[in-house]
Amino acid sequence: MVIPAIPAIPSVGSAESAGAAQAASSASGAGAATGASGASGASASSGASGSSFSDMLGNAIDSLDASQQSATNLSLQAAAGNANIADVTVASTEADLETQLVTTVRDKAVDAFNSIMDMQA
């Protein structure tokens, strides 16, 4: 799955740094952190924060896709009588949780973006 790069958001205050820090901590949980700039917070004024966020979101969605494929395959095997019910439950629960994690991170990022866009005098 290819995710188009999200343009870098200029660093304008705490809203973005909070969003980036959350994104970075989620990424390290998913084992997908690659030089996330969230730790440096508001001082990350270069375009790096934008590209690393898109990498993180892309990796998260790749991982989500793999979880869902695994859950689908196990469900098919269970329907054919070849899979352990516990394994199917675990796979589908994890796919569900991962979907919630990715959408939560996406919502937080959109909130951060919107809160910046709303700062019009």
Residues in 27-46 that interact with other proteins by CB under 8 A: 29-31
Q: Which segment (1-9, 36-44, 45-53, 78-86) binds other proteins by CB under 8 A?
A: 78-86
Which of 3, 8, 77, 94 binds other proteins (CB under 8 A)? It is 94
- The answer to the question of residue 86 lying near other proteins (CB under 8 A) is yes
DSSP state of 83: S
Listed in sequence order, the residues at least 6 apart from 111 whose beta carbon sits closer than 8 Å to its beta carbon are: 19
Q: CB–CB of 5/53 below 8 Å?
A: no
Query: And the tokens for 115?
Result: 């809160």
- The answer to the question of residue 108 lying near other proteins (CB under 8 A) is yes
SS3 state at 9: coil
- The answer to the question of residue 14 lying near other proteins (CB under 8 A) is no
Per-position b or e across 24-54, b if 16+ CB within 10 A of its CB:
bebbeebebbeebbbebbeebeeeebbbbbb
- The answer to the question of residue 101 lying near other proteins (CB under 8 A) is yes
Nearer to other proteins by C-beta: 76 or 111? Answer: 111
Nearer to other proteins by C-beta: 6 or 101? Answer: 101
Q: Which residues bind other proteins (CB under 8 A)?
A: 18, 29-31, 84-87, 89-90, 93-94, 96-98, 100-101, 104, 108, 111
